[in-house]
Structure formats: C-alpha cells, structure tokens
Amino acid sequence: MRNHNTALLLQGNLRTLLVKLSLPGIAGMLLIALNGLMDAFFVSRLVGQAAFAGVTLALPLLVLNSAVTSMLSSGAALLYSRQLGRLEHGVYGRVLLYQLLCMAVVAAACLALLGCVAAKPVLYSSGGRADVLQHATLFYKISCAGCFPSVMGLCISGLLRAGGQFKKVMVITGVTVLLNLVLHPLLIQWLGMGTGGAAVASVISMSVYMLLTLRLFLRLHPAAITNIRLQWHAMKEILLTGLPALLMQLNGLLRQFVLFRLVMLTAANIQQFTFFAAVYRLFSFAAIPAMGVLQALQPVLGASYGAGNYTRVKKAKSVFCTGLVVLMVITAIPGLLWPQQLLLLLLDKATLQQAPLWCFRLVLLVLPLMPFASTGIVLLQATGQRKTATAITGTREVLLFLPLIYTATAQWGYAGVFYGLFAENVLYSGAVWLLARYAFTGALRKQQKYASA
C-alpha cells in the first residue's frame, strides 16, 4: 500500500496541495536565502570591509557548486517522484540514494580540487587585490574543500521533498539556520578565525543538515544503502534529468555578468549603477517564494505522471501556475504602489531622488509572467521531456537574452537594460508555455498510441 504522503500526491485536492506543500517550501527557501546572507553580514560587522568585499567577490564563483548540486538534487527528485505511483517500499529511493552518494563524493572532490588550484588566479582575474584577495581566497578554498555535506545534504532533502516531506525538511532547515547563526560569531570573533570562520561555520552547519536529512531518509527507507550496486543507467538519468537546472544556474551567472557590465557602461553616474543593483536584489528576493511553489509542484506532477494519471498532470500544472501567478501579483503590488519605500531599504534619499522609479515598476511586472515559463519547464522535466527542457534552458540566453539586451541598450542606453529585460521575459514566458503544451500533448499521444497497440 502507498503511504499517506504518496496518496496525497496522487489523490489529494490540488488546491489544498498547492497551499499545504507550497507554504513549507516557501518558508524553506526564505530560510536558505537568510542562511546565505549570514556570511556577508557577520564578516562585514566582525571582520571589516576588506573581508566583506572578499566574501562578496567569492560568492558568485560558488554558483558552480550550487549548479552541480541543483543538477543532482533536481534530477534525482524528479525521477523519484515519477516512481512514487509505480513502486512501493522505497525501492527506487534506496537506489537513488546510493547513486547520489557516489556522485556527490566525485562532484565534491572535483569542486574541492578546483577550489584549491584555481581559487587565487580566478579571484585575481575577477578584480581581487591585496587584502580583498586574501580574504576571498581563504573563504573560497574552505567553502570548496568542505562542500560535500552541502551537496549531499541538499540532494537528500530533494528526495525527501519529492516524497512530500516538506514540513520536516523545513524544520531541519530552520535548525540549521539557527546553528549557523550561533556558529558565525563564535568562530569569527570569539575563536579569532576571521573570514575562515565564516566558511567553517557554514560547513559545520551543512554537515548537521546532511546528518539530519540522512537520518530522516533512513527512517523512511530502512536499510537504504544495503544490497545496492552502482547503476550507470540511473546515474545517467539523474544527470540528464537535472541538466536544465544546471543550465539555469549557469545562465543566471552569465545573465548577471552581462547585465552589470552593460549597466556599468551605460550608467551616467554611480547613482544609476547603485539603483540597478538595488532593483536587481529586490527582484531576486521577490522571486524566492516562486521556488517554494515549484518545489511543491514537482512531486505532484511526477507522481501523477508515474501513475499514468495524465489528466491530473495537466490540471495540476494549471492550478499551480494560476496560484503562482496570484502569489507573484501579490508580491509585486507593494513595489508597484510604494516603490520609494522599498528602495529606501537599500538606497539613500539622494540616490532615490534621481532614480527612474518606472524602471523598478517595469521589472516588477516580470514577476507575474515567470510562472508560465517556470511551471512549463517543471512539467517537461517531470514528464520525461528532458531533451526539450534542456534545449529551452540551454538556448535562452543565446537566442533571446543576448540579442534583445544588446539591441535595447544600443538603442536606448541605460533605460534599454530595463526594456530588454521586460521584452525578453515576455517572449520567453510565452514561448515556453506554448512549447511545453505542445511537447506534453505530443508525448501523451505517443503514450496512448503505444498503450492501444
């Protein structure tokens, strides 16, 4: 018999599931975002501005670690949720956990080696000098050397969320954040470890996170790593299914680099550059809740598809997309109505007086468009359309973002950055919505044709 969580994913009311699964997912994502801010905050307050600059310089390079983790985590989670409607007693979960363990060891070893060898020259080429370079190198090396707990812990939590264990994962995340909050000042100031203490605090916290998630998973899947062998096919499936997540992370890094470089070239003064940086940070933070809803959507789509309930797959995608649009509208309203009050959180009054507030409002209008693309990608991944999902995420920057953003800035200068961002998101959201619908309908017809034959 299926367990309670699996039954909910397969038979529960979709609107109820939207709320029940999304709220813990959103809370978990906000906690993770808060966790990521601690390094910069405590280093700035307890070590100094050079250390703060060094940590800030190193953080973008850690996107590679995050991208590899996202690939393994999302790939395994989507495969696991797809099997919930087919297999019992956690057999597939045991297989995936062992494959993830082996892949995480290899990935962490490669990332650690890269961090130790390439840290200083890469950070130097990124603009690090003198004390800033020293702090950045120390932080980056320790973060890479101790990345295994983070990679493995987030992969296990992905499997747990795929099985509907959102609340328990959120509690574990909360415990980790509190531990990190205590360890940062303890290691940085009281034990005199400085910038290295910030990195060590994160490594220790993620080690506890890994152990807690592993303990929970083993309780739900007894003897999870016994009598299991390496399965190259399963590893390949994890990598290929999670490849769109990797590409989205790396594309985000490219997008950030291009945008800030174009702003630097087109801004008339430092105030315009600071304004864009504030807009970018507020927009990124406003988009965080969407990730919680998408994490909730993945197991619902995967389990329903695995059980052969294609009508529920289509309906679930529609319900979650509608709910996410409403959430993003609610999130955007404060910025649309009171942009000055929000921007004052990051900008001084002098900078704000010269700021083009309509640009902030234009960027916020992107938020309600995002669900059409993001839910479409999740639909493709969850239903086995990995090639289409990979093609879409892999070509977005080349086919849409780069041509539009460079054309817009060439035509309108600084304002063109905002015009280009809005136009690119409109076209991308519409294109993904149509492609996902077409691909899913085509796959469904093939399934029906195969079944009738």
Q: Nearest CA to 331 among 74, 29, 40? A: 29
- pLDDT at residue 256 above 90? no
Q: In 3-state terms, what secondary structure has residue 170?
A: helix
Domain check: are 305 and 223 in the same one?
no
> CA-to-CA distance for 445 and 356, rounded, in angstroms?
50
Asked if 321 contacts 27 with a C-beta cutoff of 8 angstroms, the reply is no
67, part of any domain: yes
pLDDT band at residue 452 under the 50/70/90 scheme: low
Q: What is the pLDDT of residues 160-172, one digit of tens each?
A: 888 878 888 888 9
Q: Kindly state whether residues 193 and 316 are assigned to the same domain.
A: no
Q: Does residue 192 sit in the same domain as residue 311?
A: no
Q: Range with the lowest mean pLDDT among 61-65, 131-135, 165-169, 392-396?
A: 131-135
Residue 264 lies in a domain: no
Among residues 182, 214, 230, which one ends one of the domains?
A: 230
Are the C-beta atoms of 381 and 349 separated by less than 8 Å? no
Taking only the tens place, the pLDDT of each residue in 325-378 is 999 999 999 999 999 988 887 777 877 887 888 999 999 999 999 999 999 999
Contacts of residue 179, defined as CB under 8 A and 6 or more positions apart, other chains included, come to 204, 205, 208
Greater pLDDT, 199 or 42: 199
Is 85 among the domain residues?
yes
Contact call for residues 252 and 215 (beta carbons, < 8 A): no
Q: How far apart are CA 340 and CA 360, in angstroms?
A: 10
Q: What is the pLDDT, as a whole number, of residue 351?
A: 76
Band of pLDDT at residue 89, cut at 50, 70 and 90? very low
Question: At which of 177, 210, 230 does a domain end?
Answer: 230
The answer to whether the CB of 397 falls within 8 A of the CB of 255 is yes
SS3 354: coil
pLDDT beyond 60 at 87? no
Over residues 220-232, the mean pLDDT reads: 68
| Residue 4: band (very low, low, confident or very high) from pLDDT cuts 50, 70, 90 | low
Higher pLDDT, 347 or 12: 12
Question: With b meaning 16 or more CB within 10 Å and e meaning fewer, what string describes 354-385?
Answer: ebeeebbbbbbebbbbbbbbbbbbbbbbbbbb
Total number of domains in the chain? 2
Assigned domain for 290 exists? no
**Greater model confidence, 61 or 247:** 247
pLDDT higher than 90, residue 59: no
Work out the average pLDDT over 128-146. Answer: 80
pLDDT at residue 200 greater than cutoff 80:
yes
User: Residues 215, 304: one domain?
Assistant: no
Does pLDDT of 1 surpass 50? no
Of 63 and 212, which is predicted with more confidence? Answer: 212
Domain limits for position 409: 297-452
Residue 263 belongs to a domain: no
- For residues 49 and 174, membership in a common domain is answered with yes
115-120: average pLDDT: 80
| 9-21 average pLDDT score | 87
Band (122; pLDDT cuts 50, 70, 90)? confident
Asked if pLDDT for residue 145 goes beyond 70, the answer is yes
**Rounded to the nearest 10 degrees, what angle do helices 166-185 and 194-220 cross at?**
160
Whether residues 301 and 410 share a domain: the answer is yes
- C-alpha span between 369 and 373 (Å, rounded): 8
| Average model confidence (pLDDT) across the chain | 84
**Looking at the domain assignment, is residue 44 inside a domain?**
yes
Same domain membership, residue 344 and residue 212: no
CB 364 within 8 A of CB 281: no
Residue 244 lies in a domain: no
CA 281 – CA 274 distance, rounded (Å): 11
Q: For the chain, what percent of residues have pLDDT higher than 70? A: 89
**If DSSP codes are grouped into helix, strand and coil, which group holds residue 47?**
coil
Which residue, of 197, 230, 263, is where some domain finishes? Answer: 230
Q: Percentage of the chain surpassing pLDDT 90?
A: 27
Encode pLDDT of 367-409 as tens digits: 999 999 999 999 998 887 888 888 898 899 999 999 999 999 9
Contacts of 306 (CB under 8 A, 6+ apart): 81, 82, 83, 84, 85, 86
Lowest mean pLDDT among 20-24, 63-67, 99-103, 347-351: 347-351
Reported as a single tens digit per residue, the pLDDT across 273-284 is 878 878 887 888
pLDDT at residue 246 tops 60: yes
Residues 6+ apart with CB under 8 A from 171: none
Statement to judge: residues 222 and 330 lie in one domain:
no
306 inside domain: yes
